Homo-oligomer: A and B are copies of this chain.
Amino acid sequence: MGSQEKVETIESREWYLAAHAPEGVPTSDHLKLRTFSISLADESIHENHVVVKILYISVDPYLRAIMTGIDDGLCLPQFQINQVIFSYGIGRVIRSKESNYSGGDFVPSPVMPVAEYSMVQPSQLRFKNIDPGPGIPFTDYLSTLGVAGYAAWVALKMIGNPKPGSNVFISAAAGGVGMHAGQLAKLKGCNVIGSTGTDEKVELLKEIGYDDAFNYNASESFDAALSKYCPDGIDFYLDNVGGKMLEAVLNHVNHKAHIVLCGMISQYNKVWKERDGIRNLLNMVGKEVKMEGYLMSSLDHRFGDFTKEMETYIKQGKIISKHVIYNGIESFLESLGSMFSSSNIGKVLIQSRNKI
């Protein structure tokens, strides 16, 4: 008050939830972009806060499930009306009033605002400091070393432990989780088969090491495809899709098979009573099958071990990642919708228009 000095102000855009979307693919009725300003004047930055420039945002299927306003499955907190959308992302600190962070720091966060800039409290965003050096592509921090890679690692190393030679099947195999899970299963010496939605993605899967893969959109039936591609049955199934594929798998499981439920993208656009009912769970008795779901949020304590192992694999060229990169924060709605159309090859990311 009374100060006349000129301060730098930046404009930023951010996505927020305008309306819950209980069913269907979210549209611009549900997700809107708004513009706001951040003053970079020292007195405008709150204590223990930093201003972060967002570089990359990871677009993951679970985000869809927390825009419904209804807790009917994932049990994660739902986005509230007017709340800024957040996702796993990487930013760079440009102003800091928090002693652990300085301008220039690269900071990944599991709850980064889907925005261009933001003033945030690092502890609330669970910032970590990383030093992206040579040998690891920047985008790998969002895929192999991010949510997708960790989900795959947890499924194959913590929840399940498929044995060498066992028959592993993975759905949504060319998605972020499936891509990494297949490679981890190959590193364990398993026979790995994947399902995906286009012939082009089938080829990608073979390139990255899957023993074989099929295009479920081109299959007579899921059952016929599994008979053909998993003739010796399935010992371990990493389920990313749920619904009819899970039901089909239950007709092809071997004795003592293990099914790990990572997510169910085929079901997220429906309220639970409209979801596909699985009619053959009795097979779990006859085949003594174990099925279990997990959330990464409760398994944070192994993130360090995960990072160390995956960094080694990346440097050795043992794990590679494919990305679909959308440009500009404004592409969030489009990139989210794309996950429901079999159109993406690899991990979906947004690269903001900010320079690194």
Contact = CB atoms under 8 A, between A and B. Distances in A.
A279 B285 contact: no
A290 B287 contact: no
How many identical subunits does the complex contain? 2
Contact of A282 (B267, B273, B290): B267
Contact of A289 (B246, B284, B292, B298): B292
A309 interface: no
Contacts of A262: 285
Interface stretch (A73-81, A111-119, A191-199): A73-81
A201 B286 CA distance: 29
Interface string A272-303: 11111111111111111111111100100000
A284 B261 contact: yes
Contact of A261 (B74, B273, B276, B285): B285
B264 A282 contact: yes
Contact of A264 (B277, B281, B295): B281
Nearest to A299: B288
Contact of A279 (B74, B76, B276): B276
A178 interface: no
Given A286-B76, A288-B292, A246 B279 contact: no
Nearest to A287: B75
B246 A282 contact: no
Q: Binding site of A, secondary structure by majority: helix, strand, loop or mixed?
A: loop
A76 B286 CA distance: 7
B75 A286 contact: yes
Contacts of A261: 281-282, 284-285
A242 interface: yes
A285 B240 CA distance: 11
Contact of A292 (B279, B283, B291, B293): B291
A249 to B, nearest CB: 12
B293 A73 contact: no
In the complex, which of the residues A255, A261, A262, A267 has the most CB atoms of chain B within 10 Å of its own CB atom? A261
A262 B75 CA distance: 27
Nearest to A62: B285
B294 A285 contact: yes
Interface string A132-158: 000000000000000000000000000
A282 B272 contact: yes
A286 B295 contact: yes
A162 interface: no
A72 interface: yes
18 contacts: A73-B282, A73-B286, A74-B282, A75-B255, A272-B279, A275-B279, A275-B280, A276-B279, A277-B277, A277-B278, A284-B291, A285-B293, A286-B293, A288-B293, A289-B293, A290-B290, A290-B292, A291-B292
